[in-house]
Amino acid sequence: MFPRQAILGLIISILTLGTASAQELPPLSDLPQTDTSAQPASVLDQPIRQIADTASGCSVLDKDFPGLRQHSMYPFFKSMSLNQIAAMSKGQITADMLTQAKTDLTALEATKPAVAAATPVSATTVVATVP
């Protein structure tokens, strides 16, 4: 198991790495447009907050990355994916840890019931009744 202090130290080091100032960022109009409706390539590419939205996702995070959700900086890194954090961890999050998390999260995805497609509001018929 990975020591809790190491996970907490990792998170702090990730958050303090190379923060860019507003002057160094390109204008929003120069950024490439991405399709936000596309699914992540891997369960490890989902934002951590999305994984933590379910009780079973929380249990996987707590088992595979102890102390992650209790960290005081969690609100600042929860929008990052596990792959993003691992890339900046300098080896503290190992390939074995990610493999285990991927196995656990994929198993959760397989047990999820299929969600029916939502009907667009524009396709909904509204019937007005007069009293």
Q: Is residue 36 part of a domain?
A: no
* Number of domains forming the structure of the chain: 1
Q: Is residue 128 part of a domain?
A: no
Q: Is residue 118 part of a domain?
A: no
Per-residue confidence band for 36, with pLDDT thresholds at 50, 70 and 90: low
Q: What is the pLDDT at residue 72? A: 83
Q: Is residue 30 part of a domain?
A: no
Cα(79)–Cα(105) distance, integer angstroms: 17
Tokens of 122: 């524009």
Q: Is residue 97 part of a domain?
A: yes
Tokens of 44: 């490890």
**Range of the structural domain that residue 72 is part of:** 1-16+41-113
Q: Is residue 120 part of a domain?
A: no
Cα(66)–Cα(76) distance, integer angstroms: 17
Higher-pLDDT residue of 50, 20: 50
Pick from 41, 53, 109, 110: nearest CA to 79: 53
Q: Is the pLDDT of residue 27 over 80?
A: no
Residue type, position 5, single letter:
Q
Q: Is residue 98 part of a domain?
A: yes
Q: Is residue 1 part of a domain?
A: yes
CB-CB neighbours of 85 under 10 Å? 21
